[in-house]
Structure 1
Amino acid sequence: MNIEQRLQCITEQQRAYIQGTVEFVNDEWVFFDEEEEEALLLEEMTEGKIELFRYGQWLHGYLRENGTVDTGIGILPLQTGDRVRFHKRFSYAYQQWLAALPDHTFFQFVQWLNKLGFSLYDCLYCYNGLLFAKYTGVNFIIYDNTELISNVQHYYERGNTYKDHFEITFNNGERFICTQFG
């Protein structure tokens, strides 16, 4: 299963979106990020996919150059003050790390991470040794859920057998170990 298929199989992850409002300023659509309190050009926020809050629900669509959103069932013009959101993007190293996990390990890791109060989208940094064709090693992934910061250490072996061992340490000193998924 590829990463897009895997993400469709799991429950909605907390903090998976960048959300804010739009405003038409100087002939350009500007996105105001609610969380970061930053203003950015709307076209820089997305590769086309956008969700627009209308009629009491989030409508999935594609942003068009003329300030409209094509939802597949109609084209809606953006209006100043509209609420929009985008899926957060994973860094290349993190996305490749997630994709390299066997399916059963991926799903169990997500469940474990969620149980500890973190989302896949809380990732701040990922060192992925697998990108360097190492068959044994440790990957480091740092997460921040706004309440705690955690460091996941993923010890792995690749070759004839796949072995995955995870440890997580929180900034409050708590530590958990999962010896083997799968």
Structure 2
Amino acid sequence: MIDMFQFFGDEVLLDSRVLHERLVTDAAREGLLDVAYHTVDSPVGPLLLAATEQGLVKVAFDRQGHDAALAELAAVISPRILRAPSRFDPLARQLDEYFAGERQAFDVPLDLRLARGFRRAVLEHLTDIEYGRTESYAQVAAAAGSPKAVRAVGTACALNPVPVVLPCHRVVRSDGSYGQYAGGEEAKRILLTMEAA
């Protein structure tokens, strides 16, 4: 009797997954899906991935609060948000390759609407910092066109909407110490150690 109930439960679960995928497909086709999201496991903890039609708009660490990140997206972009795991298959594959040491840069479209002005200039520079290398906050400030804006670089990195993909973890203090990181100091250490190997 328990086996039959378990089998029945699996059938219901399978049907709900199919229905959810249909909902996501229909919502996207009708222009009703503004933000899709998915959560993936990683060596730095669960990562929330969120994307618009333009591209990846948010990566959030567990310690930042995935619900808080979704609430921010609902307030700033649109409340029309659905979990859509299959939409993130290419990025999930690239993240797996990155964490396995087989990928040094990401090839996904980005939607950087959550960053403007100098913060955006800082984010655009981050891809110039090569895998396995670091730059100081002062070096990034100079590269972004405002050599005295060292603190603003720290803020831009702390508010980076797509960490890991845009590698703000490669920005460190002038003395080489890690500095702050949205994923926490341990996550930053893991990423920099992995890239240095």
Is the pair's TM-score, using the shorter chain for normalization, greater than 0.5?
no
TM-score range, shorter chain: under 0.3
- What is the TM-score with the length of structure 1 in the denominator? 0.26
Report 1 or 2 for greater relative contact order, CA contacts < 8 Å, sequence distance ≥ 6: 2
Pick the structure with more strand per residue: 1
- What is the TM-score with the length of structure 2 in the denominator? 0.25
Pick the structure with more helix per residue: 2
